[in-house]
Structure 1
Amino acid sequence: MSRDTARILALHGGLLVLLFVAQFVLPAYHHGNLARIMVLASYAIGYNILFGYTGLLSLGHALFFAAGMYGMGLGIQHGGLSPAPALLAGVVAGAVVSGALALLALRTTGVAFMIVTLMFAQAGYLTILYFGDYTRGDEGFVLQTAQRMLWGIDLSDPTNRYFAAFTLFALCLCLSLWLVRAPFGRVLVAIRENEDRVQMLGYDTHAHKLAAMVISGTISAAAGAAYGLLFGYVGASFGSVQYSILPLLWVLLGGAGTVLGPFIGALFMFYLIDLSSGLTAAYMLIAGVVLVVLTLFAPQGLVGELRRRFWKGLP
């Protein structure tokens, strides 16, 4: 093992150890916040694979997040599934939806790709509202405590919920780290930098982008399914444009194309809004000003600037 690889494993492993230990020392409020942040960061990790590493800017990832959430929630609420197969149903739903969208959206590039993904995400959101008899539309539905027992573990319990969120985040983080350091991930980065040259080298760029979109959508769906199960609520708002823009902000703030960027961005954004909302009703103004300042002085994101200034080999 090279020295650089050892440093990378120590950094990412150290974050996981820190998050594991945090469970035992954090007060209840921050304990619950961090569980939520880890699930949302997992969503951002999925988004980062497509945007940060492959260079495809999607404005429709809420479709995948909602597909996972409703695949799980409807399976429990109307299909009588237990949490384990319901989670699997959510992940499969996200994989199928992302695969179908990829086949259509990847026929376009640039701005057209953004518009197509946004259009299909909006269609998904309107579909949720249209079938309100089953989805309960904007109101959504609550999963009861008895419906959230996974292998005898009560996921409504704060400690169990935290460790479930931690497990999901750890799996997504390790998968992302492995993926971007593997030959497949190297090709994705090359496509982001110069797709024409990658094609000249003999790689099937369309197949790689298709695979990246399916992987990205599947991870996002897993995060959506976990979010609904861990926090006991499934609602149409998670399929709205807001939840397509948020992972983009998290990734940009943390550092697009960095493994730790999605978590740092989600953590920073969550507490920025949380703290500013305690100061004024115009909290989004404060958040907006801070985001503009960060964009001006740290254009590559927080982790991206760390890589640019101090550690060129940081994945």
Structure 2
Amino acid sequence: MNEGLGKSAALHVGLIVVLAAIQFVLPEYHQGNLARIMVLAGYAAGYNILFGYTGLLSLGHALFFAAGMYGMGLSIRLLDAAPAPALLAGLAAGAVVSLVIGVLALRTAGVAFMIVTLMFAQAGYLTILLMGAYTRGDEGFVISQAQRVMWGIDLSDPVNRYYAALILFAACLLVTLRLLRTRFGRALIAIRENEERARMLGYDVFRLKLGAVVISGTMSAASGAAYGLLFGYAGAGFASVQYSIFPLLWVLLGGAGTALGPFVGTLFMFYLIDLSSGLTTAYMLVAGVVLVLVTLFAPQGLAGELRRRAWRWLP
């Protein structure tokens, strides 16, 4: 057990160290790509807590991502807030929205939960469009370079942006690993494996699920707020159904219920689309074929298959 924990710690810390060091040799294009991937991997890590570890399939996570993005962006645009308070506003918005949605959506289960979360996300997307006087609707709004300086650090600078994205990703990864070692995290896995048995053992299943929704939603909101601040834009497209499906694909590809799965899946899919789009205009067809093959031959995802075949200690 201790040996497995040691290997897990070495692997995950090693990944963070490699990501910190690789910035010095990456071309600017890939540096920007990897910064974007790390922020989105944080979003996927939040989704993984709900889907991978708790077993709740949500199609409404774009609402939490957008809540963080607009909580941050509107604080800067309308209230002229500094970046740090604006980020806190984005986190608070995500926590409140996830709490409210959790209380309402968890009255359902299974397919009904999936549909209800999708409906709430669509309502959020339409609200953003209808409040165009403040949100600028589908067009969105730009956050200027001068508004993206936090504690004297210009977050529009590629190097600073890269390390800010790395800090966010490392925080999401470490929170996930820490959660798995708590009684709360083990209870979530028990619910995923057999909810009725967990209820019979005396677990307050509703309270535990609600906690998972709030943690997942807040982590997703942190990624949304960071994405808007680091890349200087907030738009309604980030609240669309597409951005609810993306984290599901990333987690499934990387390995649901694995700490590294969200990063692996996000990295794989991002570069799959990027490389195939350079080869053909039918790049989505190429991506679709590759995704089907991965699903057929690695049904547990890339990191999941690695855990099944070799590294059984992988969390």
Q: Same fold (TM over 0.5)?
A: yes
1:153 aligns with 2:143: no
Correspondence 1:55-134 to 2 at 5 A: 55-134=55-134
Identical aligned residues as a percent: 74
- Residue of structure 1 in register with 2:30 after alignment: 30
Q: What is the CA distance between 1:210 and its match in structure 2? A: 0.3
Q: Distance in 1 between matches of 2:29 and 2:148?
A: 21
Q: What is the CA distance between 1:186 and its match in structure 2? A: 0.7
User: What TM-score comes out, normalization by structure 1 length?
Assistant: 0.99
- Residue of structure 2 in register with 1:209 after alignment: 209
Partner letter of residue 62 of structure 1?
A
Q: Distance in 2 between matches of 1:23 and 1:297?
A: 32
List per-residue Cα deviations over 1:100-150 (Å, max 9, x = no partner). 000000000000000000000000000000000110111100000100011
Report the number of matched residues: 315
Contact 2:98 2:218 in 1 (8 A): yes
Partner letter of residue 261 of structure 1?
G
Worse overlay, 84-93 or 196-205? 196-205
Which structure 2 segments of 5+ residues have no match?
A: none
Q: Distance in 2 between matches of 1:16 and 1:308?
A: 23
List per-residue Cα deviations over 1:170-227 (Å, max 9, x = no partner). 0110000110122111110110000111111111111100000000000000000000
Partner letter of residue 5 of structure 1?
L
Q: Distance in 1 between matches of 2:88 and 2:248?
A: 26
Q: Distance in 2 between matches of 1:180 and 1:49?
A: 10
- Residue of structure 1 in register with 2:247 after alignment: 247
Q: What is the CA distance between 1:286 and its match in structure 2? A: 0.3
1:162 aligns with 2:158: no
Partner letter of residue 120 of structure 2?
F
Partner letter of residue 68 of structure 2?
G
Q: Distance in 1 between matches of 2:152 and 2:69?
A: 21
- Residue of structure 1 in register with 2:8 after alignment: 8
- Residue of structure 2 in register with 1:263 after alignment: 263
SS at match of 2:23: helix
Partner letter of residue 27 of structure 1?
P
- Residue of structure 2 in register with 1:280 after alignment: 280
Q: Distance in 2 between matches of 1:311 and 1:16?
A: 19
Contact 2:69 2:227 in 1 (8 A): yes
Q: What is the CA distance between 1:313 and its match in structure 2? A: 2.4
Partner letter of residue 223 of structure 2?
A
- Residue of structure 2 in register with 1:308 after alignment: 308
Which structure 1 segments of 5+ residues have no match?
A: none
- Residue of structure 2 in register with 1:17 after alignment: 17
Q: Distance in 2 between matches of 1:129 and 1:22?
A: 40
List per-residue Cα deviations over 1:279-305 (Å, max 9, x = no partner). 111100000000000010000000000
Q: Distance in 2 between matches of 1:127 and 1:27?
A: 40
Q: What is the CA distance between 1:259 and its match in structure 2? A: 0.1
- Residue of structure 2 in register with 1:188 after alignment: 188
Q: Distance in 2 between matches of 1:156 and 1:124?
A: 28
Q: Distance in 2 between matches of 1:154 and 1:289?
A: 41
Q: Distance in 2 between matches of 1:279 and 1:138?
A: 30
Partner letter of residue 192 of structure 2?
R
Partner letter of residue 271 of structure 1?
Y
List per-residue Cα deviations over 1:50-73 (Å, max 9, x = no partner). 000000000000000000000000
- RMSD over aligned CA atoms reads 0.7
